[in-house]
Amino acid sequence: MTRLALRLIALFTITLSAASQLRAQNPIGSWQATLPAGSEGLRIMLKIDKGETSGTAGSWKGTLYSIDQASKGYPTTTLTITGALIKFTVDDYHVSYEGTFSPDGNSITGTFTQGKSQPLTFNRATEATAWPIDPSPHKIQFVPVQADVKLEVLDWGGTGRPLVLLTGLGDDAHVYDKFALKLTPHYHVYGITRRGFGDSSAPPPTVANYNADRLGDDVLAVISALKLNHPIVVGHSIAGEELSSIGSRHPEKVAALIYLDAAFPYAFYNHANTDWILDMVDVRTQIDAIQAGAVLEPKFVDNMLTGVAQLEKDLQETKQDLAKMQPPYPPAPPPLGLAIKFGQQKYTQIPAPILSIVACPHAFDDDDVHSTPEGKAAIIKEDGIRCTAQADAFQSGVPSAHIVRMPNADHYVFKSNEADTLREMNAFIATLPGN
């Protein structure tokens, strides 16, 4: 073979390699992956586009969607692509990812980190395979609840008495897009996106803007604005505090409250099953009172000693829990999450018809507990003890409440145990006046 032929072959090989690399470095579009979580997994979508300054470092911009939790995406804080290597972060949610494009440019293999690290492969979405972000047949409106604050409200329609769905922390009302359609044959179903999330207004993340009664007042404002007549209000997870806020202050405005794995200490507080954040808030309130000039009379000091002793006990238990885990430990919530957590209150009287569906013990996937096998077993055992104690405390404190325990259900009980959840909800609602 002549030297010229060898040069032509080499040039042809370089050209093919360059074309392949060019395709790998053409990331614009949507990328999809399923993050192992719960019974169904969590669908993640990354949309990549050109940044403002093309061809230089930081010339890409991205938006990360968790489409089973919310329809709104979150801009990446950083997004860099160097050759076949891609890295991005979303700082508000402690998310980072590092991966490598495949030679054909159709997938990215790497590691997703949010508290713990796990492998995650993104595949390039095509017109045929792209996941729709919001396919559910609902109407959307924005309801004012306070000066300069409007909440996104979804209306799936349906026939029957009104039913309002409230979400867990980090979700918007679109998390119910599938579940709501199972309810519309019997109820007129609405969903509310909490302030600070989704397309609802986002006031500054202060406790005053996000404490439990403020969030409960938001729900009541939506009920009033839509002229809903004694709706059934259903809440998942952190929404338990909104349910208890409404039920303890204005039970006459609702027909019933349904807690979907939401009856934690922030929904019903009992000294036998305490919560370190709630007890810390109490101590901080007492310290604030001293700073504001409260008189240090014996009763005040006794109350503070009781609060400090309880908080010390809580923190010792928290330390024991952490000892069962392996680093990295769970990251701190973003400012908005902290504002909500430190706005929790202690509810003990909830005079409203109540159904509480409790995942107890919770189902744990292998990736759910970042620990040794022994530590994982201990955490699962402790979860069973605590959720049983909390359910018992709720039943004892609110004897009229109907408590349903679902063993080995996911925290998103309306997804993992959809049929069971629907059956229990329908049976409970059938007992309410007006049916």
How distant, in Å, are the alpha carbons of 116, 320, 321, 405 from that of 381?
21, 14, 12, 16
What is the DSSP code (8-state) at residue 352?
Answer: S
CB 289 within 8 A of CB 420: no
* Other Cβ atoms within 10 Å of 362 Cβ, number: 21
Please report the pLDDT score of residue 39 as a whole number: 62
For residues 411 and 371, what is the distance between their CA atoms, to the nearest angstrom? 19
CATH number at residue 389: 3.40.50.1820
* Other Cβ atoms within 10 Å of 55 Cβ, number: 7
Question: Is there a single domain that holds both residue 221 and residue 369?
Answer: yes
Instruction: Tell me if 378 is assigned to some domain.
Output: yes
Beta bridge partners of 409: 362
Please report the pLDDT score of residue 303 as a whole number: 87
**Considering the chain, what percentage of its residues have pLDDT values greater than 70?**
90
Across 250-279, average pLDDT: 91
Q: Three-state DSSP class for 405?
A: strand
Residues 390, 392, 397: CA angle, nearest 5 degrees? 95
Question: Is there a single domain that holds both residue 183 and residue 65?
Answer: no
Instruction: Tell me if 310 is assigned to some domain.
Output: no
Question: Is there a single domain that holds both residue 115 and residue 156?
Answer: no
Across 388-410, average pLDDT: 93
For residues 411 and 109, what is the distance between their CA atoms, to the nearest angstrom? 29
CB 350 within 8 A of CB 247: yes
What count of Cα atoms within 13 Å lies in the side-chain half-sphere of residue 382?
15
Confidence category of residue 424, pLDDT binned at 50, 70, 90: very high
Q: Three-state DSSP class for 347?
A: coil
Please report the pLDDT score of residue 146 as a whole number: 95
Please report the pLDDT score of residue 344 as a whole number: 94
Question: Is there a single domain that holds both residue 255 and residue 355?
Answer: yes
Total of domains in the chain: 2
Confidence category of residue 368, pLDDT binned at 50, 70, 90: low
Domain containing 344 equals 139-272+319-429
CB 120 within 8 A of CB 35: yes
Please report the pLDDT score of residue 67 as a whole number: 84
Question: Is there a single domain that holds both residue 118 and residue 150?
Answer: no
Q: Is the pLDDT of residue 420 over 90?
A: yes
For residues 251 and 175, what is the distance between their CA atoms, to the nearest angstrom? 26
Helix residue ranges, H only, 142-185 = 177-183
Question: Is there a single domain that holds both residue 73 and residue 145?
Answer: no
Question: Is there a single domain that holds both residue 96 and residue 216?
Answer: no
For residues 283 and 287, what is the distance between their CA atoms, to the nearest angstrom? 6
Please report the pLDDT score of residue 359 as a whole number: 95
Across 85-102, average pLDDT: 92
Question: Is there a single domain that holds both residue 176 and residue 249?
Answer: yes
pLDDT in tens, 60-80: 899 999 888 887 888 999 999
Q: pLDDT: is 262 or 93 the higher one?
A: 262
CATH number at residue 73: 2.40.128
Please report the pLDDT score of residue 402 as a whole number: 96
Please report the pLDDT score of residue 37 as a whole number: 74
Smallest CA-to-CA distance from 195 within 145, 158, 160, 235 is with 145
Across 224-232, average pLDDT: 97
- DSSP class per residue in 228-258: -SS-EEEEETTHHHHHHHHHHH-GGG-SEEE
Beta bridge partners of 122: 108
